[in-house]
Amino acid sequence: MSKTAKAERTGSSKQKVSSKLENRAVTLIYCPLHLGGPHAGVSMGPAAVKVARLVSKVEALGFKVHKQVDIPVPDVLYWWEKSGKVAHCVPEIRDVSLALSKAVEAALDDGTVAVTIGGDHSLAIGSIAGVSNYYRKRKEEFGLIWYDAHGDINTPATSPSGNVHGMPLAVSLGQGDERLTELLGFSPKVKSKRCALIGVRDLDRAESELIDESGILPFSMRDIDEHGIVKVTRQSLDYAARGVAGLHVSFDLDVMDPDVAPGVSTDSRGGLTYRESHLTLELLADSELVRSIDIVELNPARDVRNQTAELAVELVQSALGKNILY
């Protein structure tokens, strides 16, 4: 098929990623944060993604790997017990978040796409803080597309467990423990009208009300079943990304069905399929706004032959603009 025919078929003159983005670069940031919950296996996520050849797969798209950064995480012995009205390991998570925020902001300052590999989803506190500080200094705004089976919008006052990996979206919106919300000296890190939440299906009792009150745009799996991932993704972009300078994508692998992604800490049946997951990220890449990405909650201790780690690498490729035919 000729390039002209491809353009007519797709309604686009977009060329192959390797030629169009040959001057683009990424910074790969590895953050083995495991303190947001009791699932210690997530600390092995970055190592599993390295084994799945993340660097060579990114380079195959025509991207230069500008830098690889390892974020230190304290080896804390903690007795995990569900308890409400608290947030566990806040001082340690704050320190990691500060280091991560600086690494992400530096990656954007260098003109690269910041790709953070986790680690549990509490790392988004740091990555979003870094993104926010970058755009704040430039008096620009960014949008946030958050993929998750869960709301991650609990606060210490509403969380039944006290696990911070269930709070990062709330923290980024300015709600929760001030030691986290005030990271880098300002709050909120992102405006609710710039946020879309895709794939939720397992919410704590209070989270539905918190989401409704927050002003973010949520899409449950029923919404995706009824309307399709293409419409949901485009509506998310219309809501969160209109007029912004960049887009941050925070992708929790448990948004996918566990039949597809078994190696996660808190799986929930009925999630996105393999193709839905790739397609939604491909659509975000088509917007040419993606400047920073989180891939989180990979748990190799629960994986099957590194299947989910390999999938995580494929998803990074799709978010960076890999296409099948053109």
pLDDT by residue (tens digit) across 31-46?
A: 999 999 998 899 999 9
Whole-number pLDDT of residue 14: 37
Q: Which of 67, 63, 58, 53 is nearest to 19 (CA)?
A: 63
**Structurally, what CATH architecture does the domain formed by 24-319 represent?**
3-Layer(aba) Sandwich (3.40)
User: Which residues does residue 113 pair with via DSSP β-bridges, in sequence order?
Assistant: 26
pLDDT score at 1: 40
125, 177 in Cβ contact below 8 A? no
**Count helices and strands in the chain by DSSP H and E runs:** 13, 8
For residue 267, indicate whether it is catalytic. no
Q: Determine whether 286 is an active site residue.
A: no
pLDDT digits (tens, 9 = 90+) for 190-219: 999 999 999 999 998 888 999 999 999 999
**Cα torsion through 113, 36, 141, 231, rounded to 10:** 80
Residue 261, SS3 per DSSP: coil
Of residues 80 and 232, the one with the higher pLDDT is 232
- Binding site, by residue number, is 121, 148, 150, 152, 252, 254
pLDDT in tens, 80-126: 677 777 899 999 999 999 999 999 999 999 999 999 999 999 999 99
Among this protein's residues, is 314 annotated catalytic? no
| Strands lying side by side in the sheet with 246-252 | 64-70, 25-31, 113-118, 290-296, 246-252, 142-147, 195-200, 217-220
Query: For residue 197, which phi and psi values (nearest 5 degrees)?
Result: -120, 120
Q: What is the pLDDT of residue 325?
A: 60
Tokens of 189: 């890190």
Instruction: Check if 70 is active-site.
Output: no
Domain boundaries, the chain: 24-319
Distances (CA, A) of 9 to 139, 164, 279, 318, 326: 39, 46, 17, 20, 11
pTM, whole model, 2 decimals? 0.92
Residue holding tokens 């870094």?
130
Tokens of residue 153, six digits? 């919008």
Say whether 95 is catalytic: no
Measured distance between the N- and C-terminal CA atoms of the chain, rounded to whole angstroms = 10
Of the residues 105, 148, 207, 294, only one is catalytic, namely: 148
Annotated binding site for Mn(2+): 121, 148, 150, 152, 252, 254
Among the listed residues 120, 252, 267, 303, the single catalytic one is 252
CA nearest to 262, candidates 223, 312, 228, 188 = 312
* pLDDT over threshold 90, residue 19: no
Give the model confidence (pLDDT) of 238-279 as tens digits: 999 999 999 999 999 999 999 999 999 999 999 999 999 999
Residue 153 C-beta-side C-alpha neighbours within 13 Å: 29
Left (φ > 0), alpha (ψ -120 to 50) or beta: where does 66 sit? alpha
Question: Look-up: residue for tokens 């992102």?
Answer: 190
Q: Choosing from 39, 165, 248, 278, which is the catalytic residue?
A: 165
DSSP tag of 298? B
Cβ neighbour number for residue 191 with a 10 Å cutoff: 17
| 248 is known as an active-site residue | no
In the block, residue with structure tokens 């050849």 = 53
Within the chain, where are the H helices? 3-10, 17-20, 45-51, 54-59, 90-109, 124-137, 168-172, 178-181, 207-214, 221-227, 229-240, 274-286, 307-319
Instruction: List the one residue out of 2, 17, 45 whose CA is nearest residue 311.
Output: 45
**What are 171-187's pLDDT values in tens digits?**
999 999 999 999 999 99
Catalytic residue, from 202, 207, 254, 267: name it.
Answer: 254
Which is catalytic among the residues 120, 141, 152, 202?
Answer: 152
**pLDDT at residue 212, rounded to an integer:** 92
Catalytic residue among 34, 88, 121, 278: 121
